[in-house]
Chains A and B, each alone.
Chain A
Amino acid sequence: MLALRGITKSFPGVVANDGITIEVAAGEIHALLGENGAGKTTLMNILYGVYQPDAGEIYLGGRQVKIRSPRDAIALGIGMVPQHFLLVRRHTVAENIALGASDTPALFPTKQIEARVQNLGPRYGLAVDPRARIWELSPSEQQRVEILKALIRGAQVLILDEPTSVLTPQEAQNLFGVLRRMRQEGHSVIFITHKLDEVMDVADRVTVLRRGRVVATLPIGETDKRSLARMMVGRDVEFQIPREPRRTSGAALVVEMLEADNDRGVPALRGISFDVGRGEIFGVAGVAGNGQRELVEVLTGLRPATRGRMRLNDRDITSLPARSLHEAGVAHIPEDRTRLGVVPTMSVAENLVLKQYRYPPFSRGQVIDNGAVMQFARRMIDEYAIATPGPHVPVRLLSGGNIQRLILARELSGRPALVVASHPTAGLDVSATEQTHALLLRHRREDVAIVLVSEDLDEILRLSDRIAVLFSGEIVGLLPAGDATRERLGLMMMGQRA
């Protein structure tokens, strides 16, 4: 059906794809497995016409094709469901599908589309109201719209880029059902992921990429999670982190009936109460957009609470500004690393003192002591193994994993009392993830209270002592880690109370 032969693509300073050859059969679900930076997305962007390869050929149905733009790709029957949806939020489902479809009539563009959506929906398990507006839809429904968009444009080959990152486990199972249905209808599906369970669950064959090269292509029956992980990372990976049980010693953070609004002024937290003990990791699970962001922002002083109280070690910290909370010992590992956590154009050293710059020894009066800053930066680069050519380099040149190491160094080096970590390993490679987890566990050992917000259920299950599930601004369930399973959490994430 589809063959990529010897695809090579380099960007300044790096070879993203190095002679990659992959064949995908009709009616096959082919997983493309690799860490961040392995070259998966680059390869798919070449297939979708976003990039031109430096070398290599693409064959479709036995015929060599040149794909110069996404328009060419669509004309050839290649569809892509991007990780971050490209939909016009104020428009309806049908309008979004009509937009850019080649046979859309100039007048009443959505009329035929509505009929086709209603026809295709049940056939593939992609039911969605064609007249609904995008902003009214959940992430999983929006994903269905993207898939429908590709199908209606005539996609025979469908590329899905990390499709489960916005879904609950149950929604992911639904998606896998859709993919199997598409396989039955003879479509080829390329499924980009770094999650091993998903590969084992849904794929027919898997191609593992590492550092821009194909490590292996295997039928699922001939492999297992452990060997896939070894191929992906290049060494053995420990799935189970040794996490010694421990008694927590008294509550550090106490939150009572906390309420807060989101950016649009709509209540996002509706009376949340919990406490976190010293030396406890308190996991917060939930589908994105159920109040996690607002909770993190209130805890770290970036968003005012409209009601309720927070106390840290018996001191009232409700609605203190970010700087006072930092001084009170609250560390914040933010969700959006490059937007919030660092100033990408400023140097590694300056970013390492982004919060501490105004205190001794980094400042004497108004003047910043560059010597002290550099000394601290060198120590942090060493201690936290931040891979950088030096402390003067702008942070934008660092990889995601090293940016996170920098943030961890800054936030954790100041002996915090409370760590609020939001999606701390999203998008990180395995070694940076392991390092992050080890650091969180070390601080747990040192009696630090830790709030861990994550969409990665495995991470929550692995690290937390207790797990709360947020649904539409409320805690619908609170479980000790021992009682929590993926299934129970998944049900609660959809609003079912424990």
Chain B
Amino acid sequence: MRRLGPLLIERDPVPSASWVLLVSVGAVVAALIAAAGVFWAFGINPLTAYAAILTGTLNTRAAPEIFRQAVPLLLCGVGLIVAFRAQFWNIGAEGQLLMGAVGATAVALFAPLPAPALIPTMLAAGFLCGALWGVLPAVLRLRLDVNEVITTLMMNYIALFFVGWLIHGPWKGQESFGFAYTDTFPRAAWLPLIGGTRVNWIGLALGVMLAGGLAFLLARTRMGFEIRVLGQNAAAARYAGIDPLRTALGAMMISAGAAGLAGVSEVAGIHHKLLAPDQVSLGYGYAGIIVAWLARGSPLAAILTAVFLGLIYSSGDVVKVSLQMPFRVTDIFNGLILMFLIGSERLLPYRLRWAAERPAGSQAGRDPMVPPRPDTPASRGDGPVRGQEGGR
């Protein structure tokens, strides 16, 4: 326990929801303050810049663009939540998204299917291609203990260059006049847009349904239970007879498949062809990590955080047009937000209280979850000791 002005800093192993929200918002605000330095370095008053961004994005003409960006972010983000809940650090949503785009493109351009079957088959193919791209790191991790952060990250580059090879080589379009992209998809393979916007409603609906479905999966199904047990305590999962390989494979296929759907949604909803990987995805697979992290493991909360990240993405256009700064400034925003978010994790087990209260006697004010007087040391010994380790 330490004093900070009129406040006491205490450890509380179970942070309350409002404290988590406060810390998360604080991290985002801190990131935006840090990002102000970037504007300042460009010779632009940060306040003017943020004002321009807000007026430029939050108007009826531009607002749909937020949701257009939120669709791939949501699909990647909810999937990543499932992987993260299993403590499987999937950094490969970007590559899984690209492979989903490849799968959809293959169906759209080459499958001799009747028109109504085209879009469902593209979605299935995209999910499957993404999922398969996620299977290899899962198997490597569980059979050979290969770190999945490395493998999933590296497989992004394999996917990236694979797409590059496809559009420069075998899939290069007949009608592309030497440019590196495929032919345009047949009309029947275009995902319908919500009138007057670039938001494809199938992708949006899939994202929202997936968020709801995965929230149910995690909370109420056997598979979700297994994923949570494996993620929270892998040793206990083994003890309980939960097969870690099958569980992690399942979580990873959902995660990677959802990213694959994001790829389908992009090529079939926006571009209508497969093109250079940095045009198919503006880093949605990486930004999805922020969506998942901000949502703190809740698929439903990811709907909100995806919209927030969509706002940041759509602010890129404003930054480019009205402030004459590069679009990629949004990457700096994203990087700063993720950095502050992860940094703020350390604050979660602490809480602030007015020092006026007596610390030990005021049990009434405490979280009702905490038993009033433990008779043995689980809370008495462990918690404080762990807090001391760093200080020694």
With A301-B241, A340-B236 known as contacts, the answer to whether A11 contacts B384 (CB < 8 A) is yes
Could you tell me if B376 and A12 are in contact, using CB atoms closer than 8 angstroms?
Answer: no
Could you tell me if B14 and A50 are in contact, using CB atoms closer than 8 angstroms?
Answer: no
Give the distance in Å from the alpha carbon of A36 to the alpha carbon of B369 in the complex.
23
CB neighbours of A324 from chain B (8 A): 241
CB neighbours of A402 from chain B (8 A): 376
Give the distance in Å from the alpha carbon of A271 to the alpha carbon of B384 in the complex.
45
Contact with B along A148-174 (1 / 0, CB 8 A): 000000000000000000000000000
Point out the residue from A336, A366, A432 that lies within 8 Å of B222, measured CB to CB. Answer: A366
Is the C-beta of B343 less than 8 angstroms from some C-beta in chain A?
A: no
Determine, out of B29-37, B178-186, B258-266, B358-366, the stretch whose residues face the partner at the interface. B358-366
Is the C-beta of A5 less than 8 angstroms from some C-beta in chain B?
A: no
Could you tell me if A341 and B236 are in contact, using CB atoms closer than 8 angstroms?
Answer: yes
Contact with B along A308-339 (1 / 0, CB 8 A): 00000000000001111110000010101001
Contact with A along B14-26 (1 / 0, CB 8 A): 1000000000000
Give the distance in Å from the alpha carbon of A45 to the alpha carbon of B243 in the complex.
41
Contact with A along B196-221 (1 / 0, CB 8 A): 00000000000000000000000011
Determine, out of B112-120, B152-160, B227-235, B268-276, the stretch whose residues face the partner at the interface. B227-235
Could you tell me if A342 and B236 are in contact, using CB atoms closer than 8 angstroms?
Answer: yes
Give the distance in Å from the alpha carbon of A370 to the alpha carbon of B222 in the complex.
11
Which residue of chain B has the shortest Cβ distance to A15 in the bound complex? B360
With A12-B11, A346-B232, A367-B220 known as contacts, the answer to whether A393 contacts B369 (CB < 8 A) is yes
Is the C-beta of A345 less than 8 angstroms from some C-beta in chain B?
A: yes
Interface size class of chain A, counting residues whose CB lies under 8 Å from the partner chain: 35 or more
Could you tell me if B375 and A11 are in contact, using CB atoms closer than 8 angstroms?
Answer: no
Q: Which of B3-17 contact A (CB under 8 A)?
A: 10-14
Is the C-beta of B374 less than 8 angstroms from some C-beta in chain A?
A: yes
CB neighbours of B383 from chain A (8 A): 11-12
CB neighbours of A398 from chain B (8 A): 371, 374, 378
Which residue of chain B has the shortest Cβ distance to A12 in the bound complex? B10
Give the distance in Å from the alpha carbon of A14 to the alpha carbon of B239 in the complex.
33
Point out the residue from A41, A50, A367 that lies within 8 Å of B388, measured CB to CB. Answer: A50
Could you tell me if B225 and A37 are in contact, using CB atoms closer than 8 angstroms?
Answer: no
* Nearest chain A CB to B168 CB, angstrom units: 45
Is the C-beta of A397 less than 8 angstroms from some C-beta in chain B?
A: yes
Give the distance in Å from the alpha carbon of A346 to the alpha carbon of B85 in the complex.
13
CB neighbours of A321 from chain B (8 A): 241, 243
CB neighbours of B229 from chain A (8 A): 343, 346, 354
CB neighbours of B369 from chain A (8 A): 389, 393-394, 397
Could you tell me if B222 and A37 are in contact, using CB atoms closer than 8 angstroms?
Answer: no
Is the C-beta of B143 less than 8 angstroms from some C-beta in chain A?
A: no
Is the C-beta of B372 less than 8 angstroms from some C-beta in chain A?
A: yes
CB neighbours of A322 from chain B (8 A): 238-241
* Nearest chain B CB to A105 CB, angstrom units: 24
Could you tell me if A429 and B222 are in contact, using CB atoms closer than 8 angstroms?
Answer: no
CB neighbours of A394 from chain B (8 A): 14, 369
Most buried by B among A11, A334, A397: A11
Most buried by B among A334, A354, A394: A354
Is the C-beta of B346 less than 8 angstroms from some C-beta in chain A?
A: no
With A14-B374, A51-B384, A354-B229 known as contacts, the answer to whether A334 contacts B239 (CB < 8 A) is yes
CB neighbours of B241 from chain A (8 A): 301, 321-326, 355
Point out the residue from B240, B371, B376, B379 that lies within 8 Å of A388, measured CB to CB. Answer: B371
Is the C-beta of B142 less than 8 angstroms from some C-beta in chain A?
A: no
Q: Supply 14 further A-B pairs (C-beta < 8 A) apart from A13-B379, A302-B239, A396-B14.
A: A10-B360, A11-B380, A11-B383, A11-B384, A13-B360, A13-B371, A14-B380, A36-B377, A51-B384, A339-B236, A343-B232, A393-B369, A397-B13, A397-B369
- Mark B residues whose CB is within 8 Å of A: 1, 10-14, 220-223, 225, 228-229, 232-233, 235-236, 238-243, 359-360, 363, 366, 368-381, 383-385, 388, 392
Could you pull out 6 A-B pairs where Cβ atoms are within 8 angstroms?
A: A11-B379, A35-B376, A323-B241, A341-B236, A396-B13, A399-B376
- Of all A-B residue pairs in the complex, the 9 with the closest CB atoms, nearest first, are A323-B241, A399-B376, A37-B376, A10-B360, A322-B241, A37-B377, A343-B233, A399-B374, A399-B378
- Mark A residues whose CB is within 8 Å of B: 10-16, 35-37, 41-42, 45, 50-51, 69-70, 301-302, 321-326, 332, 334, 336, 339-346, 350, 354-355, 357-358, 363, 366-368, 370, 387-389, 393-394, 396-403, 428-429, 432
